[in-house]
């Protein structure tokens, strides 16, 4: 597969749209709970366009969408100092779900269970491990304050993201990437 098929006008437009959607949903349509003077918990749909970007365009585009959405979102509405840790975590939100789905063999048919596993592992790793670790490391927020509220929000997020992604796929609202060759072309 040549680069013309990977970087196209259509893909650039989709990337821009998903970045804008992520920024708007994260910054304007989220509930924020401050812990220790910094944003500790954010409940919303800001990661959904990033996850969908990975499903639609592949893991590299998903990671790009996540990182750029976080950086531009910070420039538009900074909350505390810029920390690249959070941009990396945001990039992982786009990279991990499609990569995990590919590894468990669910990329061809996007079965509900396999999508739930891929999205669930990704959100679990990012929201219950990497994000609390970064907040604890950078700001010294105690683990129990970081983990306990997430134990309630993460399962809800997993169910909602899986349901929305599955509905989008079944109703042909968006076309998910179906070609393993395209996945391998990024690596």
Give the domains, in start order, of the chain with CATH numbers.
3-184 (1.10.1760.20)
36-47 per-position pLDDT tens digit: 666 667 778 999
Tell me what the mean pLDDT of segment 118-124 comes to: 96
- In whole angstroms, what is the distance from residue 37 CA to residue 139 CA? 9
Q: Which of 4-18, 60-74, 162-176 has the highest mean pLDDT?
A: 60-74
pLDDT value at position 184?
Answer: 53
Please state, rounded to an integer, the average pLDDT across all residues of the chain.
Answer: 86
Nearest to 70 by CA among 49, 40, 52, 96: 49
Q: Is the pLDDT of residue 52 over 60?
A: yes
SS3 call for 40: strand
Q: Is the pLDDT of residue 187 over 50?
A: no
Start-end of H helices in the chain: 3-6, 9-27, 48-57, 59-76, 84-103, 112-123, 131-139, 143-170, 180-184
pTM of the model: 0.87
């Amino acid at each position: 597969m040549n680069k013309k098929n990977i970087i196209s006008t259509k893909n650039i437009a989709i990337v821009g749209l998903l970045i804008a959607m992520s920024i708007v949903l994260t910054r304007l349509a989220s509930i924020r709970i401050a812990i220790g003077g910094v944003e500790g918990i954010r409940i919303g749909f800001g990661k959904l366009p990033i996850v969908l970007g990975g499903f639609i365009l592949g893991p590299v585009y998903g990671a790009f969408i996540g990182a750029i959405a976080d950086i531009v979102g910070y420039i538009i509405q900074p909350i505390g100092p810029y920390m690249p840790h959070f941009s990396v975590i945001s990039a992982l939100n786009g990279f991990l779900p499609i990569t995990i789905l590919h590894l468990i063999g669910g990329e061809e048919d996007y079965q509900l269970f396999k999508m739930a596993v891929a999205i669930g592992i990704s959100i679990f790793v990012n929201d219950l491990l990497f994000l609390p670790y970064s907040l604890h490391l950078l700001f010294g927020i105690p683990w129990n304050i970081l983990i306990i509220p997430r134990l309630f929000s993460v399962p809800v997020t997993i169910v909602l993201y899986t349901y929305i992604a599955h509905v989008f796929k079944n109703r042909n609202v968006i076309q998910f990437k179906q070609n393993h060759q395209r996945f391998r072309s990024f690596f």
